[in-house]
Amino acid sequence: MAEDTRQDKRASFSITEHGANGMARTSAVASGKTGTSKKLVIKNFKDRPKLAENYTEDTWLKLRDAVGAIQNSTSIKYNLEELYQAVENLCSYKVSPTLYKQLRQVCEDHVQAQIHQFREYPFLCSLDNLSFLKRMNRCWQDHCRQTIMIRSIFLFLDRTYVLQNSLLPSIWDTGLELFRTHIVSDSAVQKRTVEGILEQIELERNGETVDRSLLRSLLGMLSDLQVYKDSFEERFLTETNRLYAAEGQRLMQERDVPEYLHHVARRLEEENDRIVSYLDQSTQKRLISCVEKQLLEEHMTAILQKGLSTLLDENRVTELTLLYQLFSKVKGGLPTLLQFWRDYIKSFGGEIVCTPEKDKDMVQDLLDFKDKMDNVAQSCFARNESFINAMKEAFETFINKRPNKPAELIAKYVDSKLRAGNKEATEEELERILDKIMIIFRFIHGKDVFEAFYKKDLAKRLLVGKSASVDAEKSMLSKLKHECGAAFTSKLEGMFKDMELSKDIMIQFKQYMQNQSEPSNIELTVNILTMGYWPSYTPMEVHLPTEMVKLQEVFKLFYLGKHSGRKLQWQPTLGHAVLKAEFKEGKKELQVSLFQTLVLLMFNEGEEFSMEEIRAATGIEEGELKRTLQSLACGKARVLNKNPRGKDVEDGDRFNFNNDFKHKLFRIKINQIQMKETVKITSWSLVGFFVH
């Protein structure tokens, strides 16, 4: 049957493919039987093509000519692709070992011939160092260029035979080895090369301009040839060490510290720039350490002894910042700086505290000094905790060298800021001042001394009504409570409570007085104080005018009627009054103490009195009386005349009223001063302590 015949005659064939390696691959494409296939059969050429006679020798001659042309910088007769193919052909026929040896020998012969231009007279002697370096660099650059071109021709050899033999250096490495062995390792050549490089670096350090690209190329050569460290780096560092050792010694004598610090910073910047520009990166650590050691580490103590005090005194922020940065680079730098910083603070602060002539400005000087040192620690010393703690320790040390006085003056300084009439600061500024005061206060050991003076001054401010701001007073009290605890401020808080209660009592007393059948012409204000809260005052008995005594008894009756079981103790030293006085110039009002009041009222009864007569009439203690009379007769506003004239009051002095007294103000405050012809009390303030 026709159909069956076609099936029996199905074709059976194969395809043979020849690869580049000369092998044949036979693939079964179809089979005469359904569901079966032939095996893949791979066969080699039976016979390898033979090279033409003398092919190897002729090809090598061609390659040698090409290498020679490259080395002599002449044109190559043959196409580079043709040369590459020739190398590949030789390698394919097991000629690689011979080819490698022949190539190495040709290169070695050429390199050996180059040494003559550096060794033989007159070449070596006739060239200056810079010209020698340029010739060496040209030789090296030519060698590198030639090696790259030769390798491009023999690339197949490099990537097959050389790669398969781990003990053989590549063509590039062979070129380096030959240059190192026959040129750079020559003692005379190496010595002059290194000396020439060192000479150029020294010239640059001295401010001259040098060819950095030349230095970069030559030092790169030494690095590539793996002789950089042994031949150059050690000598370079030795010379650097010698240079900067001498420079450090000389400049420490010639220059002041700020100038010297800037010089060191500039030198370090220059050396880092050399690392970037032409030195090997591996040199950086040892080079910078060398500069830091010779210019900084060897002179740390001398720098600080010579210049730290000046830098701090003049607040040289830039130089102090630089000093810290430089000292942080060297071993032991910051600990040494820290010790000098601590000693400076103790010395400078000790002078502020221990000089009595400066007591008037001590607290402000301390605040200014603390601000200054804080700024240095923050801005210049990178907020280093060690320096901040050392500063605190130093402040605590010097501020307690003089016991009690700083505590007293700080309390008085606070009083000056919280007293009415202080127009130096706004509320916000006052708050900042109080915060700064608290920082100084923390350093004081004798806080009980501060409390005593603060309490005394607070009492004056509260009793005389001279507190600038109740909010500021309470803010200061809150700060003290936070710093020292509730026990420290409990009595101070009690003083404020007494003043509030006294206000309520006086409202009730005024209502009480309005209901009296015989109202007084004197307006009396009494502050009732708890004895345990307030400072201790020496009791003093004085002779009050009849009208004052009567009013005092009225208040006593009123108060004890409301608070049975209590006892009032009057304190005349804290009393004050407003008096109306008449002079030739006209009427005036005088704000005076109770003692001044008693003295002035005597001149309503007579023209002139001796000091003994005044003492007998008023009962004022002699020392207090002398101070009182001095304030009225010897001050700027003299409401009394003293005979004989003088600044001090003595026994036997006589006093008369100064009717010619003049003053531009209507109401005049006489702290220990001022008065008039006829005197009349318009208001009177007393202080009474109650004792349970």
Bridge-based pairing state of the strands 41-43 and 667-669: unpaired
Query: In this structure, are 386 and 410 located in the same domain?
Result: no
Query: In this structure, are 360 and 438 located in the same domain?
Result: no
- What pLDDT digit, counting tens, does each position of 373-432 carry? 999 999 999 999 999 999 999 999 999 999 889 999 999 999 988 886 666 677 888 889
Residue 427 lies in a domain: yes
Q: How confident is the model at residue 339 (pLDDT cuts 50, 70, 90)?
A: very high
Q: What string of DSSP letters covers 98-166? A: HHHHHHHHHHHHHHHHHTHHHHSTTHHHHS-HHHHHHHHHHHHHHHHHHHHHHHHHTHHHHHTHHHH-T
Bridge-based pairing state of the strands 640-643 and 654-657: antiparallel
Which domain range does residue 120 map to? 54-183
Residue 26 lies in a domain: no
Residue 82 lies in a domain: yes
Q: Does residue 346 carry a pLDDT above 70?
A: yes
Q: Determine contact, residues 177/183, Cβ cutoff 8 Å.
A: no
Predicted local confidence at residue 126, as pLDDT: 67
Question: Would you give the DSSP letter of residue 380?
Answer: I
Instruction: Please tell me the distance from the alpha carbon of residue 277 to that of residue 275, in angstroms, as a whole number.
Output: 6
- What pLDDT digit, counting tens, does each position of 524-567 carry? 888 888 888 888 877 778 888 888 888 888 888 888 888 777 78
Query: In this structure, are 471 and 555 located in the same domain?
Result: no
The model's pTM: 0.75
Count of structural domains within the chain = 4
Which of these three, 484, 507, 531, is where a domain ends?
484
> In DSSP terms, which residues pair with 669 in a beta bridge?
591
Query: In this structure, are 609 and 628 located in the same domain?
Result: yes
Query: In this structure, are 436 and 465 located in the same domain?
Result: yes
Tokens at 274, concatenated: 């050399």
Tokens at 275, concatenated: 């690392």
Q: Across residues 67-82, what is the average pLDDT?
A: 92
Q: Across residues 163-174, what is the average pLDDT?
A: 93
* CATH number reported for the structural domain that contains residue 173 in this entry: 1.20.1310.10
Residues 6 or more apart from 180 whose CB is under 8 A from it? Answer: 225, 226, 227
Which of these three, 465, 484, 503, is where a domain ends?
484
**End-to-end CA distance of the chain, in Å?**
149
Instruction: Please tell me the distance from the alpha carbon of residue 158 to that of residue 155, in angstroms, as a whole number.
Output: 5
Residue 489 lies in a domain: no
Which of these three, 145, 166, 183, is where a domain ends?
183
Residues 6 or more apart from 670 whose CB is under 8 A from it? Answer: 590, 591, 592, 596, 631, 632, 635, 637, 639
Query: In this structure, are 532 and 479 located in the same domain?
Result: no
Query: In this structure, are 538 and 480 located in the same domain?
Result: no
Residue 524 lies in a domain: yes
Q: Determine contact, residues 505/544, Cβ cutoff 8 Å.
A: no
Q: Determine contact, residues 601/679, Cβ cutoff 8 Å.
A: yes
Residue 685 lies in a domain: no
Question: Would you give the DSSP letter of residue 226?
Answer: T
Query: In this structure, are 618 and 601 located in the same domain?
Result: yes
- What pLDDT digit, counting tens, does each position of 619-657 carry? 888 888 888 888 887 877 778 888 888 777 888 888 888
For residue 485, report the phi and psi dihedrals to the nearest 5 degrees: 100, 165
Query: In this structure, are 381 and 415 located in the same domain?
Result: no
Tokens at 259, concatenated: 């100038």
Residue 356 lies in a domain: yes
Tokens at 624, concatenated: 């207090």
Query: In this structure, are 347 and 384 located in the same domain?
Result: yes
Count of Cβ atoms closer than 10 Å to residue 549 Cβ: 11
Quote the Cα angle for 588-594-597, to 5°: 40
Handedness of CA 179, 183, 185, 190 (dihedral sign): negative
Query: In this structure, are 391 and 411 located in the same domain?
Result: no
Query: In this structure, are 577 and 655 located in the same domain?
Result: yes
Residue 88 lies in a domain: yes
